[in-house]
Amino acid sequence: YAFNCFIQNLTFWVSSENFRKHCPQDPVERKKQARELFNKYFIAGSRDELNLDEDVRERVRSNLDEPTAQTFVEAQQHITGL
């Protein structure tokens, strides 16, 4: 179980780092990609749901209307501290 959580966290970190480094300039594409990451890792009950506290999850959710390259940084920092 612990190894699977580690792999899941690593996969999220790499995906969100790619989003940060290669954040689309087009706001529609940026929003689409941010929503895809959110749906995969932040939605309760999703297969790859991260173990995040509700405050972090809500702050990420609140940034989805106008995502930036920094949208997932707090969640990245949280999982690296686990």
One-letter amino acid for residue 29 of the chain: E
Whether 80 and 65 have beta carbons less than 8 Å apart is answered as no
Look up tokens 């405050």; give the residue.
55
Phi, then psi, of 57 in degrees rounded to 5: -55, -45
Cα separation, 32 vs 17, whole angstroms: 16
pLDDT digits (tens, 9 = 90+) for 9-67: 999 999 999 999 999 999 999 999 999 999 999 999 999 999 899 999 999 999 999 99
Helix (H, G, I), strand (E, B) or coil at 20: helix
User: Tens digit of pLDDT for each residue in 63-82?
Assistant: 999 999 999 999 999 998 86
